[in-house]
């Protein structure tokens, strides 16, 4: 009986690895079907995950508008349904909007049918606000499963070249600005977060992210750096 339990446990672990962890590692290490950087010596792509958030996303849009910067937002479909006015403002102000699942759930925990449903529902929610085709997709936590590339083949999957841990207040207070300042390479795709409601995040972290982002944008625009959206590629 114990031997059967051990064998069953090993089989389950192997199946989980084959379905989730191994595809994620292969896709990210080998860059299979994903984009982590863009071409251009003087171009940087700012991306924001997990919104829209009625408090912080609107403040972020104010900051971006103040510096004439366009960004790309990977939004959660259920939040889009609750705050369509924010998505409409993003669109009207020239930002690009992509998919980040209807619920903030890892692809590791979803069947291919559930994943497809998450993509379809989020695209529909965005389209109802913008009346435009949705092109870009970023899975939460950068997690892929065995079927992700096949299920999401109609979209361009965008990862990142730089991630900063800005979902934690302490990181934002003590490290984020220095990390951003070191990010000067042309073609970088930067990942930040405009919502602190997801698992493992600090609710007030976006407040401190915004403080640092504004300093960074001021310095970089003065140096002539150009921030573009993914739609401009």
Kindly compute the dihedral angle of the four CA atoms of residues 118, 120, 123, 125, in this order, to the nearest 10 degrees. Answer: -80
Candidates 117, 193, 202, 207; catalytic one: 193
Residues counted in the chain: 233
Q: Is 49 a catalytic residue?
A: yes
The string of pLDDT tens digits covering residues 173-207 is 999 999 999 987 889 999 999 999 998 999 999 99
The string of pLDDT tens digits covering residues 116-171 is 999 999 999 999 999 999 999 999 999 999 999 999 999 999 999 999 999 999 99
With 80 as the cut, is the pLDDT of residue 4 above it?
no
User: Which homologous superfamily is 2-232 in?
Assistant: Glycoside hydrolase/deacetylase (3.20.20.370)
If you search the block for the tokens 């990181």, which residue do you land on? 171
Domain ranges of the chain: 2-232
Residue 211, judged by CB atoms within 10 A of its CB (0-12, 13-18, 19+), counts as middle
Q: Is 62 a catalytic residue?
A: no
DSSP 3-state percent helix, strand, coil across the chain (nearest 5): 50, 15, 35
Candidates 49, 50, 166, 194; catalytic one: 49
Query: Which of the 8 DSSP states describes residue 67?
Result: T
Phi then psi for residue 225, to 5 deg, are: -65, 140
What average pLDDT is seen over the chain?
A: 95
């Amino acid at each position: 009986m114990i031997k059967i339990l051990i064998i069953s446990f090993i089989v389950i672990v192997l199946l989980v690895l084959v379905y989730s962890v191994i595809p994620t590692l292969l896709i990210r290490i080998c860059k299979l079907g994903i984009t982590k950087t863009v071409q251009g010596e003087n171009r940087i792509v700012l991306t924001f995950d997990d919104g829209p958030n009625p408090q912080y996303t609107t403040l972020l849009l104010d900051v971006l508008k103040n510096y004439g910067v366009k960004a790309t937002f990977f939004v959660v479909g259920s939040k889009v349904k609750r705050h369509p006015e924010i998505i409409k403002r993003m669109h009207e102000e020239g930002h690009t909007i992509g998919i980040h699942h209807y619920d903030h759930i890892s692809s590791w925990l979803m069947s291919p049918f559930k994943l497809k449903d998450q993509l379809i529902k989020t695209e529909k929610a965005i389209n109802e606000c913008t009346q435009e085709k949705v092109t870009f997709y970023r899975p939460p936590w950068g997690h892929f499963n065995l079927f992700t590339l096949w299920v999401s083949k109609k979209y361009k999957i965008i990862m990142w070249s730089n991630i900063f841990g800005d979902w934690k207040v302490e990181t934002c207070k003590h490290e984020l600005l220095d990390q951003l300042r070191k990010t000067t390479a042309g073609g970088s795709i930067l990942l930040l977060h405009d919502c602190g409601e997801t698992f493992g995040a600090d609710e007030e972290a976006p407040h401190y992210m915004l403080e640092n982002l504004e300093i960074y944008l001021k310095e970089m625009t003065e140096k002539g750096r150009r921030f573009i959206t993914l739609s401009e590629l």
